[in-house]
Amino acid sequence: MISVAEAKKIIGENIVAPQPVKLLLPDAAGKVLAEDVYAVFDIPAFPQSSMDGYAFRFSDWKQNRKLIVEGEIAAGSNEKISLATGKAIRIFTGAPVPQGADTVIMQEKASTNSTGELFIEDNGITKGTNVRPKGSEIRTGELALEKNSILSPAAIGFLAGMGVMEVRVFPNPSISIIITGKELQQPGKPLEYGQVYDSNSFTLHAVLRNLHIDTVKTFRADDNLEVLTGILEEALEQSDIVLLTGGISAGDYDFVLKAAENCGITKIFHKIKQRPGKPLYFGKKGNKLVFGLPGNPSSVLTCFYEYVLAALEILTKRKISLQLINAPLSQSFRKTTGLTHFLKGFYDGKRVTVLEAQESYRLSSFAKANCFIKINEDVTECKEGETVEVHLLPV
């Protein structure tokens, strides 16, 4: 067996970052930019009114406080209008400010009489009020977003407002999930004696969905070497990463190791000095990654968060690994040496508590946990109030 630190180092050394791809803007949401994006023209491309109101030349109003309203400009108007001296024009939010005008008074602070004379009630108005200057958002040639920026909803909107329709990004990997075990039954179907409901596929789909990874396929394999080998070959052809659950220990019906060998997968490591998740397997075929996750539900999710998530961070260029903090324990904890423990815990912002139901087959504590408490392999006791390493789980 290897240590937790060795396993993480080995995984990092065996991952090749993917080549960037060009995607339509809606499909790029949540991904990471693979190149700098520059503005190709000014935004806004013309002086723009930020209010419904009246546009005028400030110096005209300042001199005699008398302006006559003539005409109007609606948002989307492509008519180029020049404002005559002593005149004002009705204007609406988003409309281009006419040539010669430099100020807009909002309609709530202005009124007109029957002859069209404009009365402005705000004596504190200044030149340029309620006008968005040309290029005030961004100017031609300016850097809009840097390489490695996350394409958040606001970033997508910003690029769309610049007229960008395609961007180069680092793609999400495609993933296949292989659920092994003849004893597994689908939720919603009758449970026969000796069967248990499959939770691992639902857990993995949910965590991948939270990561905005949508290209996910699920396969199910009985405890049969030939069947599992065929399914694993198909998964390798279709996906960048294969996640197997179960069948990775040393039982008579654990065929993952042999199936991986049959498929030409190179074993990088098998078994880590940790609990839960000791039988974790990691292998490669070309640039395809294969993780053999233990079958117990708590082990599956622990190994995903601690190892698969780290691999996905490298592949997607997104900072998605668990956040590490230090916090005091709310109670003492004892264990034997030899294995690093990842304990399900709850962090209240000040102290961290070890939850009940730590066994690897139980998800009840995991459903309430918001963190792991990492206890290193050589540690046998942590006392109440002692500072421990905490890995915060995503919401």
| Same-domain pairing of 292 and 192 | yes
Q: Give domain status of residue 139, yes or no.
A: no
* Segment 170-188, tens digit of pLDDT: 999 999 999 998 888 889 9
**Do the beta carbons of residue 75 and residue 93 sit within 8 Å?**
yes
Q: What does the alpha-carbon distance between residue 195 and residue 184 come to, in Å, rounded to a whole number?
A: 6
| Residue 141 domain-assigned (yes or no) | no
CATH number of the domain to which 155 belongs: 3.90.105.10
Per residue in 40-92, pLDDT tens? Answer: 999 999 999 999 999 999 999 988 888 999 999 999 999 999 999 999 999 99
What is the total count of domains within the chain?
4
pLDDT at 276: 95
Answer whether 282's CB lies under 8 Å from 290's CB: yes
**Which alpha helices (H) appear in 126-252, and where do they start and end?**
153-161, 200-210, 225-238
Give the torsion through C-alpha atoms of 375, 379, 384, 387, to 10 deg.
-60
Of 3-12, 60-69, 348-357, least confident by mean pLDDT is 60-69
- Write down which residue in 273, 290, 316 finishes a domain: 316
Asked if residue 283 has pLDDT above 70, the reply is yes
What is the predicted pLDDT for the residue at 222? 84
Tokens of 290: 């294969």
Q: What pLDDT does residue 252 have?
A: 60
Whole domain around residue 157: which residue ranges? 21-38+146-170
pLDDT digits (tens, 9 = 90+) for 86-115: 999 999 999 999 999 999 999 999 999 999
CATH of the domain at 377: 2.40.340.10
Which of 120-134, 137-151, 288-302, 323-337 is predicted least confidently? 120-134
**Any residues with CB less than 8 A from the CB of 215 and at least 6 apart, and which?**
172, 173, 174, 175, 239
Which among 276, 299, 316 is the end of a domain? Answer: 316
Asked whether residue 263 falls in the same domain as residue 200, the answer is yes
pTM of the model: 0.85
Residue 288 shares a structural domain with residue 179: yes
CA-wise closest residue to 1 among 272, 248, 292 = 272
pLDDT band at 18 (very low <50, low <70, confident <90, very high): confident
pLDDT at 339: 96
- The verdict on residue 14 lying in a domain is yes
Check which CATH number belongs to the domain holding 282 and give it: 3.40.980.10
Q: What is the pLDDT of residue 82?
A: 94
- CA 160, CA 189: separation in Å to the nearest integer? 46
Name the pLDDT band for 251 (thresholds 50, 70, 90).
low
Q: Which long-range contacts (CB under 8 A, 24 or more apart) does 1-7 make?
A: 1/271, 1/272, 1/273, 1/278, 2/269, 2/271, 2/272, 2/273, 3/272, 3/273, 3/340, 3/377, 4/272, 4/273, 4/274, 4/306, 4/340, 4/377, 6/269, 7/269, 7/272, 7/280, 7/282, 7/307
The pLDDT value given to residue 219: 95
19-46 pLDDT tens trace: 999 999 999 999 999 999 999 999 999 9
pLDDT value for 253: 60
Same domain for 162 and 196, yes or no, is no
